[in-house]
Homo-oligomer: A and B are copies of this chain.
Amino acid sequence: MRILVTNDDGIFAEGLWALVKGLKSIAQVIVIAPIREQSAVGTAVTLSQPLRVQKVPLIVPGVETYSVEGTPSDCVILALEKLVKSQVDLVVSGINHGLNLGDDVLISGTVSAALQGYLRGFPALAISVAAVDSLYLDSAAKLATLLAEKIDSGVLSSNILLNINLPDLPLAKIRGAQVTQLASKSHINTVEEGNDGRRQYYWLVRQKTDRVADNQTDIWAVERGNISITPLHTSLLNRSAPAIPDNLCSHLLQGLRQQ
């Protein structure tokens, strides 16, 4: 199995390398990630400028690594159309430092990178953890590995785009895993004013809403200590796709808790 890995926190992010180390145990991994942090860059694709790519000295032995001066979507397009072409079986984006839930997935670089994989016909996973300085990156990496195996073995259809979010809990305290729907807005933007000594500026800040999430949504699930798995191909794109097997979640949990 060959897996393309990218993220939106940039090539030096801890979550990226935790993910790579996990996936490396079951597949050949290639990393093509943005050189700079790209949070909230959403679906942006760079059309008006050329892109620069650098081969990066190996950070994890055996894992070919490239950095791109561009967005997460640029990375996936460049990989699938040029650098590794179609010799890939799966696209995984993450592990994002911070949740990507509800309508907010629309501005998530992590999800957008996975979306570019899905729109090109590849199964794609976006994976995020709750805490910016998460202690549980390994669980998330393990979960990505289990899902990759299920896609590889055909248990899970390859015509999927899954958005996965883990609560900030040790494995033992995670209550369960759920297939969920996208909630609506989880954050609002407020605007702070400042002055740099020469000119006024405005800074957009995201703040959690106190809105109560509907049952069975991704926000609702994570708030209750569950892993949320949202099939975005139906939730976001309103597109039919093979169903998720009923026992997926219990199998995943079981797999996570093994060993």
Which residues of A are interface residues toward B (Cβ below 8 A)?
Answer: 10, 12, 35-37, 39-54, 56-57, 59, 67, 69, 71, 73-74, 77-78, 81-82, 98, 103, 106-107, 112, 115, 119, 132, 182, 184-185, 189-191, 193-194, 196-206, 234-239
Contact = CB atoms under 8 A, between A and B. Distances in A.
A133 to B, nearest CB: 11
A44 B47 contact: no
Contacts of A81: 189-191
A39 B51 CA distance: 16
Contacts of A204: 45-47, 51, 74, 77-78
Contacts of A238: 182, 234-236, 238
A59 B10 CA distance: 17
Contact of A40 (B40, B46, B78, B236): B46
Nearest to A51: B202
Oligomeric state, in copies: 4
A239 B40 CA distance: 23
Contacts of A236: 236-238
Contact of A196 (B77, B119, B203): B203
A53 B199 CA distance: 10
Given A103-B119, A196-B203, A78 B42 contact: no
A44 B34 CA distance: 15
Given A50-B202, A59-B57, A41 B39 contact: no
A112 B177 CA distance: 32
A235 B237 CA distance: 7
A176 B41 CA distance: 37
Contacts of A234: 238
